[in-house]
Structure 1
């Protein structure tokens, strides 16, 4: 009875954590420090671009982080390199242009439109929107990459949790190698088949099967190995710990429904370092930005793999110490 009550209480805590985390992240998205560039058309006074950037930076709440650019060609380069998320071109005729990249996050593009609606209305000006890097026709609001990433992450920690609960944590080097080997094979299959569904079956990310396979393999393997390491070190508590990290914290901060620049600061800070966000950003970089920005997701996955290895090594050391202590003759 006591064990069942404790189990129910633990599940309730996870449930409430899920509600608290998702509602906290999504209930009031507010833009902050969205990186943009400011360009002025030919014929306008020198220095107007910097004056405009300074004025945009001074907006209450600091929704923008403005810089200047020489022309729209530089803007396109900055967008494709993922250095900015939009640009504001001050027109000489009284009509300005807002350049967005919805492929980097539709919520940020929408936020920019809302901000500049107020900016131009206050000055009696108008603006038109040009989506320089739009999402694909089969990728509504750019959410497909997020769902693909979540699928990979779920597969990774579910397999590791199933091994731990149904088979048990490895107790020898040979068992560890077997578990990791099966996880590696599973990760390749999971990455390849997930990529196949989105590229060839659904046509969402056509033409990107191989790089998405590599990314998916990394996401699944990193998530699974990290969870295996936790299971080896702390036992069955690794399962709720993985749920807290990857689901309760990782999913709402991943930048799927809302980008980092409209999420609360805590979620914006952690999202890119948890595997759902790592995968989401990796998919965007591969599909829409020719690989620009993929270095950070690669680094994040490498860190999870390294931590997983260290956790398993620590668990092995503890096992050896316990075995040595048990084998010592009593005095």
Structure 2
């Protein structure tokens, strides 16, 4: 009998060697990992620079919706002539339509169907109606567009801000920064849980992580709204709806990041930064509204949580909730996808280990 023959039964009795999880340090050298991390951070940094400069380096108005109305006593068709002339401007900075009267213009602005109006006067200067609360950059762009148009037609106008921003909300940026704060908190907590604890290994752990994120979202949503409304006085009232919105922003962002962590591992953190920071922040419509951003950023902004949060704040504070449906739907989608990834990937990994 050989030594191998004697040892074999003992090995069989002990059963197969237990599965050991491997970390990147088990598969790659320290030098390789340092190079990969450095290159990855460099790519994120260059992406950040490229994205922000591309979005903000040359803001150009595009298809800003406005309504045109002619004062009583003017010849029929004057309003349509103005609409045709405005829609024919090179670059199509505005998308004009005819309104019956100034009451309809104000209603369209309140319903967020247009961002301004133009009243053609029978005598004296015309009136440009803006809504800086819907986007200060769009209101400024309208003034510039009509100033240029007036230089060729000889008409002058005065500006009336129908929906001004609050006196403590400079250029309407406070909602943008409030939303960014909520977003940062959501993905930072998710990233911290993933890096310190790791992805959940059981459905019970997945439930604990989800409950922790939900509690954090509720607390940070309320505290952020409390700071903006009570401590700083940026917004008057709206504490409850802003708290609920903030909780949705934090939970949607955090759960989506946790879902990425469960599905992709450590790659979730740079992907979350790419989505929410590199792409989400410049497209959110804070400093520049969607109608003056490049087409790409205007298209994606409302579908990423920074933009959804910014638009949600604007809708709640200045438009009595009008227009909040789309941002809320976006946040619910991120939360649902995140929950599906967390629990689905956890169940799949558990079944694989059991097999």
The answer, yes or no, to whether TM exceeds 0.5 is yes
CA distance in 2, matches of 1:211, 1:291: 9
Among residues 189, 208, 231, which one is paired with 2:261 in the alignment? 231
Query: Unaligned 5+ residue runs, structure 2?
Result: 1-30
Residue 52 of structure 1: CA displacement?
1.1
Residues 1:67 and 2:120 aligned together: no
Q: Distance in 2 between matches of 1:6 and 1:176?
A: 30
> Would you say 1:43 and 2:77 are equivalent positions?
no
Instruction: Give 3-state SS (helix, strand or coil) of 1:16's partner.
Output: helix
Of 156, 161, 172, which residue of structure 2 is paired with 1:142? 172
- Return 5+ residue gaps in structure 1 as ranges: none
Give yes or no for contact 1:94–1:125 (8 Å, CA) kept in 2.
no
1:104 Cα shift? 0.7
Note if contact 1:37-1:87 (Cα within 8 Å) is conserved in structure 2.
yes
Q: Would you say the 8 A contact 1:149–1:276 is kept in 2?
A: yes
- Please state how far the C-alpha of 1:51 moved relative to its aligned partner: 1.7
State whether structure 2 residue 156 is matched by structure 1 residue 126: yes
Moved more, 87-96 or 230-239: 87-96
- Residue-pair matches, total: 325
Residues 156-305 of structure 1 aligned to structure 2 (within 5 Å): 156-305=186-335
1:265 deviates by: 0.1
Output the CA distance in 2 between the equivalents of 1:189 and 1:267: 31
* Matched residue SS, 1:39: strand
Partner SS for 2:159: strand
Please say if residues 191 and 269 of structure 2, whose CA atoms lie closer than 8 Å, have aligned partners that are also in contact: yes
TM-score normalised by the chain length of structure 2: 0.90
Partner of 2:39: 9
User: Using the alignment, how far apart are the partners of 1:318 and 1:196 within structure 2?
Assistant: 41
| Counterpart check, 1:28 vs 2:63 | no
**Post-superposition offset of 1:316:** 2.5
- Counterpart of 2:24 in structure 1 is none
Query: Which residue matches 2:139?
Result: 109
Aligned CA RMSD, in angstroms, stands at: 0.9
Q: Deviations over 1:143-183 (max 9, x none)?
A: 00000000000000000000000011111011011000011
Secondary structure (helix, strand or coil) at the match of 1:98 reads strand
8 Å contact kept, 2:68–2:98: yes
SS of 1:228's partner is helix
Moved more, 242-251 or 310-319: 310-319
Give 2:121's aligned residue: 91
**Matched residue, 2:352:** 322
CA deviations over 1:33-61 (Å, ceiling 9, x no partner): 10000010111111211221111111101
Equivalent residue number for residue 18 of structure 2: none
Cα shift at 1:213 = 0.3
- What secondary structure is seen at the aligned counterpart in 2 of 1:6? helix
Partner SS state of residue 45, structure 1:
coil
1:57 and 1:224 map into 2 onto residues whose CA distance is: 43
User: Are positions 1:78 and 2:108 aligned together?
Assistant: yes
Displacement of 1:94 after TM fit? Answer: 4.4
Displacement of 1:247 in angstroms is: 0.2
Partners in 1 of 2:56 and 2:188 — Cα distance? 26
Please tell me whether the aligned partners of residues 258 and 338 of structure 2 are also in contact (alpha carbons under 8 angstroms): yes
